[in-house]
Homo-oligomer: A and B are copies of this chain.
Amino acid sequence: MDELSTVGKSVPRVDGMEKVTGTAKFTNDFALPRMLYGKVLRSPYPHARIGRIDVSQASKLPGVKAVLTGKDNPEGRMGVVLDRPIVAEDEVRFVGEAVALVAAESLEVAEEALDLIDVEYEELPAIFDAEEAMKPHSEVVVQLGHHLLPSIPAYAGHNIPFATAEETPNVYRAFHIQEGDIEQGFRESDVVLENRFVFTRTQHCAMEPHCAMARPEPDGGFTVWASEQHPFEAQLFLSRIFKLPVPKVRVIAPFIGGAFGGKLFVMGMPWAMMLARRTGRPVKVVYSREEVFVDGYSDVPVVIYIKDGVKKDGRLWARSVKAVINCGAYSGRVLLLTGSMVMGATVNYRIPHFWWDSYCVATNEPVSGSFRGFGGVQLIHAVESQMDMLAKAIGMDAYKFRRMNLYKEGEINLLGQPTHAVEAEECLDKVAEWIGWGKKPEKREEGPWRIGRGISAQGKGGLVSPYSLAEVKVHFDGTIEIRHGATEVGQGCNTILSQIAAEEFQTPVGKVRQISGDTAVTPYDITSTANLTTFNTGNTVRRACQDAKRQIFEIAAERLKMKAEDLELKDGLIYTRGKTEAALKLGDIFVPGGGGTAKEERERILKKFGVDYMFCHGACALEVAVNTETGEVKVLRIAQCHDMGTPINPQACEAQIDSGNGFGVGRALYEEIVIENGVTVNPNFVDYKIPSMLEVPLGAEVSSMLPAGVPHEDGPYGGKGFGESTNCGISPAIAGALYDAVGIRMLDLPITRERVLGALKRVG
């Protein structure tokens, strides 16, 4: 890799300066004029029927602008299978579920209003244990399990088949994989070991709490700023929920203060949108730390049953796993995790006989979600703990036992996919060597303290996504601008992507500019999760750069009368391969051309006509009345007709002419900045007269006409421009009308009363 100049180097983070100086903007750093603060009233019961909700007291509190309940829900729901109501409707299903929303002028008032909302609940039996809940005919029904994935493109890439369990209402998804014959595997094993592992719920504890701000837009859409890891999927879901065309929801993810899987489908977004929709004002919803814990998609509680068989010689021979995953009251992203979790048991160790069952089970606990590792923390813990115990059982060193069972390059893993470019053995060797595996610990054991060493290995798959797009824009000063939809959650993707672009253009990282995470301006990206970004967005940035270079070399080659493939680029200079003197500056290829199509088009027109103007003509006729005593001139009627080729919007064309009337009359009769010795003496609308509606003819006294419309053969649909001309023909027509009326020929503008009177006096 030594031919690389930037890739492979530990360049400093491109967002480092912003972050250490506190100027980096996170969602909560944004505020908008007239912004309201949104807060959420949350259920105190894990399962209850909602009776009457009395919001009258809360609504009366001064500063409260909206109190919404489940009755005000948009039609859609949130979550991968759209199962979670935005605000609870008839039932609440976990402690912390949203029951009402408040928007108020201040956070304090919003919080006070929450206390004034009176909700009647009828408690229902609740269930918290996933294994209990999945028992057939479980008495407590949290949610029905019949769901299919929506046909959203972002999810179509998942190749793991989704199965729907119908035996029990609380099982949302059952996922199964098998290989070989598991029973035979155990029979053939020398040692069989079975254990049950229990994992509790944990939080990501990102420094930044979940946060969203929604602004209603005049077109009925919304702009949403949010600490959201996948702005593009959020856009899809929000547009679905609020029944809006996709681009009418613009999601912007500014810097995110840590995410780790917890900021996918931030509920603050639909809440802020509901409140913004109702109030017509921007609304910001920031979770308290407590709310992050309760409703921040904590990692899943899981129970893992694992049974392993091993040969005396150390060969792993059979493994069966059953994982019961508690997704809480709604499925969140745990539906996906239920499948993806299998990675940790299938891609690291060679096992001839394998059996996997995992279940996504609904309970009345809070909604869980994804966490860095996506089930890996729990599964790898169970698997690796087993590896230790298995090694011990057959009297083998835990390090050597692992090492001999690792997949090698080219082997097909339990997912049926080849092992490529992995360095599992080297990883294991390096950590074993560093810790001094097999040697005595250096730390002395003293008092009650005992010293021990542990080791683990692992493997994970990262999706090769077809949905990470990038654009590259090369500026003529050599700045490389990359646009991508990945989000900088702190992981440093902006730095990595800058390095890739810098490498391709052989330019310093500082010459790369980045625009990211805004659905309105950056291309689609599936999401910054699952180890995706470097591989997928990195690849697409690199290819976009290569495409841009190709275009640059094509233009340069034509200029230099050379072949594009003989050119190379470095530090904004274009070289002939092998030469040390630059042939062109990058900026040169922008002169005089500019840009592709438009430039070619212009050249085509030039070639045909030798022309680089399109012409527009027009005429004006009008009638004035002149007061011979005061010199006052009034325009009584006015007609203008201008050609614009094909009028693309006739009314807009007429409006251009109308507007010219006002300008023209003003210029002809009134307008003049008086400068005395360089001093502007009438810099205001009292002393500088512009025509009002009284001075310009209106209605039937005006005709703003378009001719037949001869199409310009090079204009869009035959159209061309003309608006600027409409104020130019008025004053001469007024001067002519004045002459017609009273025989005076005024040359200079404006034709003020004084000048008219003076001229009238001169002609007698």
Q: How far is the CA of A609 from the CA of B605 in the complex (A)?
A: 50
Asked if residues B717 and A7 are in contact (CB atoms below 8 Å), the reply is yes
From B398, B616, B667, give the contact of A736 (CB < 8 A). B398
Using known A-B contacts A153-B590, A737-B454, determine if residue A610 contacts B721 with beta carbons closer than 8 Å. no
A721 (CB) vs chain B CBs: closest residue: B531
Asked if residues B201 and A675 are in contact (CB atoms below 8 Å), the reply is yes
Residue A385 at the B interface, CB < 8 A? yes
Of A383, A435, A475, most B-chain CB atoms within 10 Å: A435
A592 (CB) vs chain B CBs: closest residue: B156
Asked if residues B372 and A724 are in contact (CB atoms below 8 Å), the reply is yes
Asked if residues A720 and B667 are in contact (CB atoms below 8 Å), the reply is no
A619-668 contacts to B, CB under 8 A, are 619-630, 636-637, 639-652, 655-656, 663-664, 666-668
Asked if residues A542 and B716 are in contact (CB atoms below 8 Å), the reply is yes
Residue A413 at the B interface, CB < 8 A? yes
Residue A311 at the B interface, CB < 8 A? no
Of A449, A617, A684, most B-chain CB atoms within 10 Å: A617
Asked if residues B720 and A462 are in contact (CB atoms below 8 Å), the reply is yes
Copies in the complex: 2
A455-509 contacts to B, CB under 8 A, are 455-469, 475-479, 481, 483, 491-492, 495-496, 499-500, 503
Residue A729 at the B interface, CB < 8 A? yes
Asked if residues B672 and A614 are in contact (CB atoms below 8 Å), the reply is no
Q: How far is the CA of A184 from the CA of B579 in the complex (A)?
A: 60
Write out the residue numbers on chain B whose beta carbons fall within 8 Å of the beta carbon of A763: none
Asked if residues A464 and B611 are in contact (CB atoms below 8 Å), the reply is yes
Q: How far is the CA of A126 from the CA of B696 in the complex (A)?
A: 39
Interface size class of A (residues with CB under 8 A): 35 or more
Asked if residues A467 and B598 are in contact (CB atoms below 8 Å), the reply is yes
Asked if residues A126 and B513 are in contact (CB atoms below 8 Å), the reply is no
Asked if residues B294 and A680 are in contact (CB atoms below 8 Å), the reply is yes
Mask, A365-404, CB within 8 Å of B = 1, is 1100000111011101111110111001000001100100
Beyond A373-B724, A373-B728, A523-B595, 9 additional contacts (C-beta under 8 Å) are: A7-B648, A8-B717, A203-B671, A247-B513, A417-B609, A430-B707, A434-B703, A434-B705, A542-B717
Q: How far is the CA of A664 from the CA of B458 in the complex (A)?
A: 13
Q: How far is the CA of A4 from the CA of B156 in the complex (A)?
A: 38
A-B residue pairs in contact (CB < 8 Å), sample of 21: A29-B33, A47-B678, A153-B593, A153-B594, A378-B749, A381-B735, A388-B739, A418-B611, A419-B615, A430-B619, A435-B639, A454-B732, A456-B621, A460-B616, A460-B724, A465-B602, A466-B603, A483-B521, A530-B721, A531-B616, A540-B598
From B496, B547, B718, give the contact of A652 (CB < 8 A). B496
Stretch at the interface among A9-17, A265-273, A350-358, A556-564: A9-17
Q: How far is the CA of A186 from the CA of B60 in the complex (A)?
A: 86
Asked if residues A17 and B219 are in contact (CB atoms below 8 Å), the reply is yes
Using known A-B contacts A617-B458, A716-B539, determine if residue A708 contacts B423 with beta carbons closer than 8 Å. yes
Asked if residues B717 and A500 are in contact (CB atoms below 8 Å), the reply is yes
- State the 3 A-B residue pairs at the shortest beta-carbon distance, nearest first: A452-B741, A46-B678, A531-B721
Q: How far is the CB of A721 from chain B (nearest CB, A)?
A: 3
Asked if residues A430 and B705 are in contact (CB atoms below 8 Å), the reply is yes
Write out the residue numbers on chain B whose beta carbons fall within 8 Å of the beta carbon of A673: 200-203, 293, 298
Mask, A1-31, CB within 8 Å of B = 1, is 1001001111101000110010110000101
Using known A-B contacts A421-B710, A717-B500, A749-B199, determine if residue A443 contacts B623 with beta carbons closer than 8 Å. yes
Asked if residues B729 and A456 are in contact (CB atoms below 8 Å), the reply is yes
Q: How far is the CB of A418 from chain B (nearest CB, A)?
A: 6
Mask, A247-291, CB within 8 Å of B = 1, is 110000000000010000000000000000000000000000111
Asked if residues A610 and B417 are in contact (CB atoms below 8 Å), the reply is yes
Q: How far is the CB of A758 from chain B (nearest CB, A)?
A: 14
A736 (CB) vs chain B CBs: closest residue: B454
Using known A-B contacts A128-B675, A450-B626, determine if residue A724 contacts B530 with beta carbons closer than 8 Å. yes
Asked if residues B381 and A457 are in contact (CB atoms below 8 Å), the reply is no
A643 (CB) vs chain B CBs: closest residue: B423
